[in-house]
Structure 1
């Protein structure tokens, strides 16, 4: 398994991976508005636009295929973390999280975790940091991790 920066050639695969994992794990608990909001955020063009900004985007590649993706916004907020369902619980998320945290530029890294991913973020060392919220149909749990 290799972790590297997302490239423009990766965009269709990265978008499909995020949409597929989201559809399976998160979408069933959301309204149509939330699903539509996420589809816009995870579109290849939206990734391309964020790549041009202050967002670190890393992918994990195994057996020649993108198996996971993490996006760290402004060096301090995990904006996205998805692992292909067939690769979950095989260390992909941990590798991506560790690689992103090594490049964090703040003492505290935050995430607006989907409710189905709270336990995974707790395993990565994040703690609850406020009440459940909702933006544009996306329901999330604020969490944070203090870095050493």
Structure 2
């Protein structure tokens, strides 16, 4: 597995990976508005715009194919973490998160986790902080991780 920064030629594969994972594990739990909102966020054009901003976007490449993506916004917030459905529970998410946390600019990194992803984030060392929220049809659980704890969690 190779973890590297996303490049423009990866946009279609990254978008497809996010949509495949989202469709399998999250879409059924959301309203039509939530699915539409996510589709816009995961579009290739939206990734390109964020890639040109202050967002670090890393991909996991396995056998020449994009199998996962993580987006770290402003060095402090995990905005996206999606793994191809057929590659989940193989350590790809943990490897991406570990790599992205090396670029964190703060001691506490946050994520607005979809409810179905809360157990995975807990395994990575994140803790729930506050009540679930809803924005533009997306339902999320605020979570955070203290980086000294993260370093122990990623080596487990």
TM-score range, shorter chain: over 0.9
Q: Tell whether 2:141 aligns with 1:129.
A: no
Give the aligned CA root-mean-square deviation in angstroms. 0.4
Q: Residue 83 of structure 1 aligns with which residue?
A: 83
Distance in 2 separating the partners of 1:24 and 1:85: 7
Unmatched segments (≥5 aa) in structure 1: none
Q: Residue 153 of structure 2 aligns with which residue?
A: none
Residue pairs, 1:38-117, within 5 angstroms = 38-117=38-117
Unmatched segments (≥5 aa) in structure 2: 149-156
State the 1:147 CA deviation.
1.1
Distance in 2 separating the partners of 1:60 and 1:52: 19
Please identify runs of 4+ aligned residues in structure 1 that moved more than 3 A.
none
Q: Residue 24 of structure 2 aligns with which residue?
A: 24
Distance in 1 separating the partners of 2:120 and 2:105: 22
1:46-68: CA deviation from partner (whole Å, max 9, x where unpaired): 00000111000000000110010
| TM-score of the pair, normalised by structure 2 | 0.94
Q: Residue 119 of structure 1 aligns with which residue?
A: 119
Distance in 2 separating the partners of 1:98 and 1:78: 12
The SS at the match of 1:53 is coil
Distance in 2 separating the partners of 1:2 and 1:52: 22
State the 1:36 CA deviation.
0.1
| TM-score of the pair, normalised by structure 1 | 0.99
The SS at the match of 1:78 is strand
1:51-97: CA deviation from partner (whole Å, max 9, x where unpaired): 11100000000011001000000000000000001000111000000
Q: How many residues align?
A: 148
1:82-135: CA deviation from partner (whole Å, max 9, x where unpaired): 000100011100000000001100010000000000000001100001100000
Distance in 2 separating the partners of 1:128 and 1:61: 30
The SS at the match of 1:120 is helix
The SS at the match of 2:11 is helix
